[in-house]
C-alpha cells in the first residue's frame, strides 16, 4: 500500500500512467484471494452462525446506511449523496479481514465464522445496493432491476454449487490423474476465475463469484492441494490489489476534506460498536463481540465498486470519492492491528488469573493419531499394522489412485502433497503423536519435516531416507528416526551370508550392529544434546541384545544361572535361553545351562565382553 502511494498520481516521483491496468490485475488478486479463502472455509461451518449473519448483518447495513445518511445531511450533502455515503461505510473488507484471520489460524474459530458469515452477507448486499442506489430517483425501475438481479444471483449460486460439488471435483480428479502439477494449478485457477467471470457476466462482482466457487469446492478432497498450489499466484496478485489501493490514496484529500474524513472515521467507529452490540444481542459472548467489532469497522473493497458507480452517475462528488478512498486505505491498514488488539484484550483476563492465553479455536482436539505420508508399499504395510492395533491414523498421498485405494480400504485420507502446509493441517499434523514420511523424494522430505515442525515442534517424525547423504540433514532437522530401506535389506543379506558361513550368532549380531551404528551415526547425537525420548532411544541402542552360544568345556556349562553368578561378575543379564527348538524367556536362577545353549544377553559393550571372557574361562580378560 505504501508502494502504491509512492507510484500513485498524487505524489511526486515515479508514477504508473495506466492505473486501469493495475486495477484489472488487482481485481484478479482479490478474486484469487477470496477463491483461496473459500477453499479453506467449508460451507457447513457457516450453518451455525446463519442467524447473526443474515439478520444481524442486514440490520447493521440498514442502521449504518441510515446513520451515514444522517451524517451526510449534517455535512451539507443532498439526500441521495448522503445515502451513498452511508452505504459506502456499511460494507467491510472481506479481503483484508479474511486474509488476516487466515494467517492467524482464526478463520475457523467461532468468532471467525461469525465474521465470515457477516462478510458474506455484506458482499451479497452489494447486489441490491448497486441496483437501487443509482435508481433513487426512479425507485420503481430500480425495484424491477433488483428483481432481475436477485434472480441472476440465485441462478449463479445454484449453478456454482452444482459445478463445485458435482462437476469440478471430477475435472480436478482427471487432471490429477495425469500427474502434472502445472495442469492442476491451471485447472484450479480456471475454476475460480471462470466462475468469477460468469458472475461478472450476469452483473455480479467478479470476486464474489470466485468466493462462491472456492466455498463450493471446499468440500472436495482436492481443495487442500488446490489451496496450496494457488497460494503463490494469489499472493502476487493480492500485492497488486493493495498497491492499487495505495495509488487511490490522495494525501492532499486529508487537508481538502479533513472534516469529511474525520466524520467518516467517527462513523466507522460507530459501525464497530454497532457490530459488537448486534453480535452480543444474538447471544454470542466472551470475546466474540469485541473481536467482531474491532475486525469489521473498516471500509471494504466492494465499497470501491459502489463509489465508482456513484461517481459515474454524478451522485458521489469528487471530494467525497477522494475522502472515501483515503478512509478505506487508512482503515484497511489498521485492521490487522485491530485484530491483534482484540486478541490481546481477550488474553488479558486469562493472564490475570494465571492461565495460559490462547485464542478459541474449532480445530480438532489432540487426537494422538499417526500421520502417514505416502501410500506405497511401505505406507500400506504400516497402515495394515496400525489398523490391527486399532490406532487412529490419516494417510496423505498425491496420487489419486493411491488415495482411492486407501479410501477403499476404509482409511481416512487427505489428497495432496505432504510438503504443503494446508494438506498437513487437514491431516491434523499439529495434533499428531507421530508423523511418518515414506515418500522417496529427497527434495520434498526435508521441506515436509520443517513444515511439520512448525505445526508441532515436539512431534516425532520418522523418515524413509533415500541415501546416506540425507541422514545428516535429517538429523539437523530433528528427525526422531530415519530408515534406509536399501541399507536394512543389505544388512539382512549380510546376516544371512554370515550365518551360512557358520559364524557364531553373537559375532554376526555384533558385526551387523556395528555396521548399523556406523551408517546411522549422523542421527546419534551426544547425550547432552538429546531430549528425553532421544536419550531413551540412545540408551536402548547401548543395551542391545547379544546372542552367545555356550561352547564345550565352558565354566558355565552344566551349572545353573544362580551358581554362575553372571550378574555379579559381569553386570550382564541373561534374558533368554534357546535350546534346540525350545525358548526359555526370562530364565530364573535355577535354570541350568548346557553346552550348545544360545543365551540372550543385555548389557553394555564392556559388560557383554566380560561375559564372553567368563564363558570362555579367560581369567586374564
Torsion of CA 327, 331, 332, 334, to 10 degrees: 150
User: Helix (H, G, I), strand (E, B), or coil: what is residue 587?
Assistant: coil
CB distance 226 to 39 below 8 Å: yes
pLDDT of residue 354: 42
Q: Is the pLDDT assigned to residue 59 strictly greater than 90?
A: yes
- Correct CATH for 2-352 of 1.10.3720.10, 1.20.1530.20, 3.40.50.1000, 3.30.70.270: 1.20.1530.20
Residues ≥6 apart with Cβ < 8 Å to 501? none
Q: What is the DSSP string of 286-328?
A: TTHHHHHHHHS-S--HHHHHHHHHHHHTT-S-HHHHHHHHHHH
Q: How confident is the model at residue 41 (pLDDT cuts 50, 70, 90)?
A: low
Burial 475-513 (b: 16+ CB within 10 A, else e): bebbbbbbebeebeeebeeebeebeeeeeebbebbbeeb
pTM over 0.85: no
User: Do residues 318 and 332 make contact, with C-beta atoms less than 8 angstroms apart?
Assistant: no
pLDDT at 56: 92
Name the strand (E) or helix (H) holding 345: helix 318-352
In the block, residue with C-alpha cell 545353573: 560
Tens digits of per-residue pLDDT, 452-499?
988 888 888 888 887 777 777 777 777 767 787 777 778 778 877 887
Question: Residue 143 pLDDT > 70, yes or no?
Answer: no
Q: H/E element holding 276?
A: helix 258-281
Percent of the chain topping pLDDT 90: 9
Tell me the per-residue pLDDT of 541-586, one tens digit each, with 9 for 90 and over: 555 677 888 888 899 988 998 888 888 888 888 888 998 888 888 8
Residue 363 pLDDT greater than 60, yes or no: no
Contact status, residue 278 vs residue 54, Cβ threshold 8 Å: no
> Given a cut of 60, is residue 290 above it in pLDDT?
yes
**297-313, pLDDT tens digit by residue?**
988 877 877 887 788 77
* Tally of CA atoms within 13 A in the half-sphere of 180 that contains its CB: 10
pLDDT value, residue 279:
92
How many residues in the chain?
621
What angle do the packed helices 19-39 and 181-201 form, to 10 degrees? Answer: 110
Which three cell numbers, joined as nine digits, stand for 329? 486505505
Cβ proximity of 46 and 67 under 8 Å: no
Helix (H, G, I), strand (E, B) or coil at 574: strand
Please state which CATH number belongs to domain 370-465. 3.40.50.720
Place of cell 436477485: 150
Is the pLDDT confidence value at 403 over 80? yes
Q: Does pLDDT of 334 surpass 50?
A: yes
* pLDDT attached to residue 375: 92
Q: Could you read off the pLDDT of 434-457 as tens digits, one per residue?
A: 999 998 877 788 888 888 988 888
User: Which residue, among 95, 153, 85, has the nearest Cα to 124 in the 3D structure?
Assistant: 153
What are 437's strand-pairing partners?
Answer: 373, 463
Distance CA 413, CA 395 (A): 5
Q: Helices (H) and strands (E) in the chain — how many of each?
A: 28, 12
Q: Which CATH class is domain 543-621?
A: alpha beta
Confidence (pLDDT) at 359: 38
pLDDT digits (tens, 9 = 90+) for 501-525: 777 766 777 787 778 777 776 655 5
Please give the average per-residue pLDDT across 148-169, as a whole number: 75
**Residue 166 pLDDT more than 90?**
no
User: Is the Cβ–Cβ distance between 253 and 14 less than 8 Å?
Assistant: no
Compute the distance between CA of residue 497 and CA of residue 491 in angstroms, rounded to an integer.
Answer: 10
Domain ranges of the chain: 2-352, 370-465, 543-621
Distance CA 286, CA 350 (A): 12
- Give the pLDDT score at 365: 43
Q: Average pLDDT of the chain?
A: 79
The C-alpha R_g of the chain, in whole angstroms, comes to 34
What pLDDT, on the 0 to 100 scale, is given for residue 537?
A: 53
Amino acid at each position: 500500500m505504501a508502494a502504491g502511494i509512492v507510484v500513485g498520481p498524487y505524489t511526486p516521483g515515479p508514477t504508473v500512467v495506466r492505473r486501469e491496468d493495475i486495477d484489472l490485475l488487482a481485481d484478479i488478486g482479490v478474486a484469487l484471494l477470496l477463491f483461496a479463502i473459500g477453499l479453506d472455509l467449508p460451507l457447513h461451518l457457516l450453518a451455525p452462525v446463519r442467524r447473526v449473519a443474515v439478520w444481524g448483518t442486514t440490520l447493521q447495513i440498514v442502521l449504518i446506511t441510515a446513520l451515514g445518511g444522517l451524517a451526510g445531511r449534517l455535512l451539507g450533502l443532498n439526500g441521495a449523496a448522503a445515502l451513498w455515503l452511508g452505504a459506502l461505510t456499511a460494507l467491510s473488507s472481506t479481503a483484508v479481514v479474511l486474509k488476516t484471520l487466515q494467517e492467524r489460524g482464526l478463520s475457523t474459530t467461532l468468532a471467525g465464522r461469525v465474521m465470515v458469515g457477516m462478510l458474506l452477507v455484506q458482499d451479497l448486499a452489494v447486489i441490491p445496493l448497486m441496483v437501487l442506489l443509482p435508481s433513487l430517483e426512479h425507485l420503481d425501475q430500480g425495484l424491477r432491476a433488483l428483481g432481475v438481479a436477485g434472480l441472476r444471483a440465485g441462478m449463479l449460486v445454484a449453478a456454482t454449487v452444482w459445478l463445485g460439488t458435482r462437476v469440478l471435483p471430477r475435472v480436478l480428479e482427471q487432471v490429477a490423474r495425469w500427474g502434472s502439477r502445472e495442469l492442476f494449478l491451471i485447472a484450479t485457477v480456471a475454476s475460480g476465475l471462470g466462475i468469477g467471470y460468469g458472475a461478472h457476466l450476469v452483473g455480479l462482482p467478479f470476486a464474489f463469484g470466485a468466493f462462491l466457487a472456492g466455498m463450493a469446492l471446499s468440500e472436495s478432497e482436492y481443495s487442500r492441494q488446490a489451496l496450496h498450489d494457488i497460494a503463490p499466484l494469489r499472493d502476487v496478485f493480492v500485492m497488486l490489489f493493495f498497491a492499487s489501493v495505495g495509488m487511490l490514496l490522495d494525501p492532499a484529500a486529508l487537508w481538502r476534506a479533513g472534516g469529511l474524513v474525520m466524520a467518516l472515521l467517527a462513523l466507522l467507529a460507530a459501525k464497530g460498536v454497532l457490530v459488537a452490540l448486534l453480535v452480543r444481542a444474538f447471544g454470542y459472548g466472551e470475546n466474540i463481540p469485541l473481536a467482531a467489532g474491532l475486525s469489521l469497522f473498516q471500509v471494504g473493497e466492494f465499497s470501491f465498486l459502489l463509489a465508482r458507480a456513484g461517481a459515474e452517475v454524478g451522485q458521489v462528488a469528487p471530494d467525497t470519492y477522494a475522502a472515501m478512498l483515503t478512509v478505506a486505505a487508512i482503515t484497511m491498514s489498521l485492521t490487522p492491528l485491530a485484530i491483534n488488539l482484540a486478541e490481546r484484550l481477550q488474553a488479558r483476563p486469562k493472564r490475570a488469573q494465571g492461565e495460559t492465553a490462547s485464542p478459541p479455536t474449532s480445530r480438532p482436539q489432540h487426537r494422538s493419531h499417526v500421520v502417514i505420508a505416502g501410500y506405497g508399499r511401505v505406507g500400506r504395510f504400516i497402515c495394515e499394522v496400525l489398523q490391527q492395533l486399532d490406532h487412529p491414523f490419516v494417510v496423505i498421498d498425491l496420487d489419486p489412485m493411491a488415495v482411492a485405494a486407501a479410501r477403499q480400504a476404509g482409511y481416512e485420507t487427505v489428497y495432496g502433497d505432504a510438503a504443503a502446509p494446508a494438506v498437513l493441517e487437514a491431516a491434523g499434523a499439529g495434533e499428531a503423536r507421530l508423523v511418518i514420511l515414506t515418500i522417496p523424494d529427497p527434495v520434498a522430505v526435508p521441506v515436509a519435516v520443517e513444515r511439520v515442525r512448525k505445526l508441532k515442534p515436539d512431534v516425532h517424525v520418522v523418515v524413509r531416507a533415500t541415501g546416506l547423504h540425507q541422514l545428516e540433514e535429517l538429523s539437523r532437522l530433528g528427525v526422531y528416526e530415519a530408515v534406509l530401506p536399501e541399507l536394512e535389506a543389505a544388512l539382512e543379506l549380510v546376516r544371512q551370508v554370515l550365518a551360512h558361513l557358520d559364524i557364531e550368532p553373537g559375532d554376526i549380531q555384533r558385526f551387523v550392529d556395528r555396521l548399523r551404528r556406523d551408517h546411522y551415526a549422523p542421527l546419534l547425537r551426544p547425550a547432552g544434546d538429546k531430549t528425553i525420548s532421544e536419550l531413551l532411544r540412545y540408551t536402548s541402542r547401548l543395551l542391545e541384545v547379544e546372542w552367545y552360544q555356550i561352547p564345550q568345556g565352558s565354566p558355565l556349562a552344566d551349572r545353573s544361572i544362580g551358581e554362575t553368578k553372571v550378574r555379579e561378575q559381569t553386570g550382564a543379564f541373561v534374558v533368554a535361553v534357546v535350546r534346540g527348538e525350545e525358548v526359555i524367556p526370562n530364565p530364573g536362577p535355577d535354570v541350568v545351562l548346557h553346552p550348545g545353549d544360545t543365551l540372550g544377553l543385555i548389557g553394555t559393550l564392556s559388560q557383554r565382553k566380560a561375559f564372553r571372557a567368563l564363558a570362555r574361562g579367560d581369567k586374564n580378560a
